[in-house]
Chain A
Amino acid sequence: MRFAVSLLSILGIASVVGTVLKQNEPYENYIIKFGQFWFGLFEQLGLYDVYHSSWFLVILLFLIVSTSLCVYRNGPLMIKEWRTFKEHASEKSLNAFSHQATFDMTSGLNVTKQQLMQFLQAKGFQYKSVVHADGGELIAAKAGTHQRWGYIFTHTAMVIILLGGVLDGNLPFKVQEMLGHKRIETLDIPESQVPEASRLSTSNPSFRANMTLPEGTSDHVAFVRVRDGYLVQELPFTVALKDFRIEHYATGQPKSFESDLVIIDPDLKEPITKTISVNHPLLYKGIAIYQSDFQDGGTALDFNVWNLFAPDNQPQPLAGAIFGKGTLGEGDDALTVEYNDFRKFNIINMSPDGKGKPHNVGPNITYKLRDNKGQAIEYVTYMQPMQIDGKHYFVAGMRQTVQDEFRYLRIPIDDELSINGFMNFRAIMLDAAKYPEIARKIARNSLDVGKDPAVVKQFENSVVQLLTIFAQGGYSQVAQIIEKNVPEKEREVVASTYIKMVRVAAYEAYNMGLAANKKPLLVSDAKTEALLRDSLNSFSDMFFYGSPYFLQLEQFEHKEASGLQLTKSPGQKWVYLGSVLLVLGIFSMMYIRERRIWLLLKPDANQVLFAMASNRKNLDFEQEFNVYREQLKGLLT
């Protein structure tokens, strides 16, 4: 018994471990988190998959054995208690009861006996009477002894549930792994090359495996994730995905995920077609197929690639597909593009305080740019301009490692809602050949400069110089130069002059870009101010973008892949059976109250001895005893 409670506690604590430490993460995450030493130790202890570790299994087995033994030992006792009326109780033992009373018998023995039996019947007691040698008679009664089955039901139920659970666990694989027949595959190789030792045949009694099917494809294997590797589970049929759909609420949140599946099996005259969705799986040949998640299935992508630092402003087309690769640039500077993910809908809460409603900001794409040393930077780009603080921007984020947050480049849109305005502006700002013209324009429009050619020349030179510096690294470059060359006291004044001058230059540059494309020019107003401020910020941020390439998604052809989960769990019906038993057992244990009554009729003394007992002494019993005592008293006297 103490053992049982201890086991329950240990099971509880073991379970806690598995919830505190995130289970089944990729192993590198654990290494980063714990360091090599602790990582190794925790791995030995099986802490990354507690619920499938050997020691956890051992606890469960202990529980099964000890509970079985408990039922084996107490079960017969309980059945005996359930059956017996305990009609052999002696007067002496009845007298020793804590709940007893003696009444005078005013009627004859038989009449009294009749009355008492009616009483017991009315109260729902079953009874049995025995005549004693001295002429007395004992009526032994019981009610609610079905409670005793509660014990048997609950505890048998626990054994059945646990056995069912073990049946659905991966015990067969664990044994084969220990014997060296099977091992997990940790390499990312094509399924057909996975060796026999890492494959599970169709006769595997239970499994829980995953399958990712792009639209229009089919497969007859699924993957079982085990620790940091996987096993290939062969299926007795082929699953094909015709179509995958996501439906959305008006707010953009997903409403349903559905897959149109086709089951192809030589045993079938016709393939089965069925649509599955979350909460509505398909069952075939003992294998249940669930809609579990979805991902991209190789969406085709068309980009415009801008080289941010090249003064020519013609974007280059680039085509690719998710999970595919591409190349940007040439020679040693060439970068590999790895297209990782495409999302058609992105529900983001864009309000500054986070209290507004989330809404859909349209498609985005995640990709990595990898240099020839293998270093990669991850990027995310949104296809459509996003509204931030009332203005629209093209937004692209970058980060060096998965742990970092994305840092975003925000490029303001032009009047035609396109990126071209900024790109033209950027081209002119980078083109040293354009600086003298910008400088001349500023000088002409500026009242402060005056007409003295020498002063004008000097002014123009300083503008050209400033633009040259700005083109090398934006504001931060300018700040560095100031810090190097200007005494501390004057820095603020100089900086604000420079900023003002860059602003004015930007105005001219932007307009030159517009003029070259025969677009209407900017007018001096607050909106233009904001546009120029944003454009200059983007220009400055460009230098922190990590690569010269800005990929702008032009078009896509969406292809999705449905994430299916396939399970075979022969233990499930046992678990359910056990559950029903468990509920029955608990209710009978707690809501059926076992009570026993003995009525000893003593014709010699003309008395009736009333005794009552229960295996659970609680208040209900006290009350019931008091009521019965009063009622019997009324009945008999």
Chain B
Amino acid sequence: MDINSDISQAARGDHNAFGRIVVVHQGKIFAFLGRMGLDSATAEDIAQETFLRLWRNANQFDPKRSNLTTWILTIARNLALTHLSRPGRRVEIAGASEVEDTASDALQPDEALLAKQRRERLHAGLNRLAPVDRSLMAASYIEDLDLAAIARIEGATPGAVKVRLHRARLKMRQILEEDDG
């Protein structure tokens, strides 16, 4: 069924149509939040709040003016940035604890160790990037999301997003090199 038809039905209170929207978008939201360096518990909280806000405000969505995926990702991004800017928040160190309970369950021990090291390295790098850069980097790895869509999520022009993304990658590279050195 068409996703725009699902959101129209959800706006009229159809729970099943809303459930289909959650099924289609949950993977993208979790991947996005994970790539922002959030641990699985925080990502779950933010994803849940994202979908609850979508439900409450479903009647404000206008398919002529925006894309549903972009809209959902914008909500998730804003919630994640609010979380990351909170002064008392705990530092996200998902790499160490979550390798075991996610994708590397099926890996051999040496592969799991390698995956764990990769994650720790990535999280160390991400934690030193500004939250907006983390969001930008994470959005750039979402499939089917072009520069214009990323720009809408980030509230910037595609040109500005391109420049900021380049700078964020340079900074990340610098951080990773410092860590390696």
Answer yes or no: do A and B interact. no
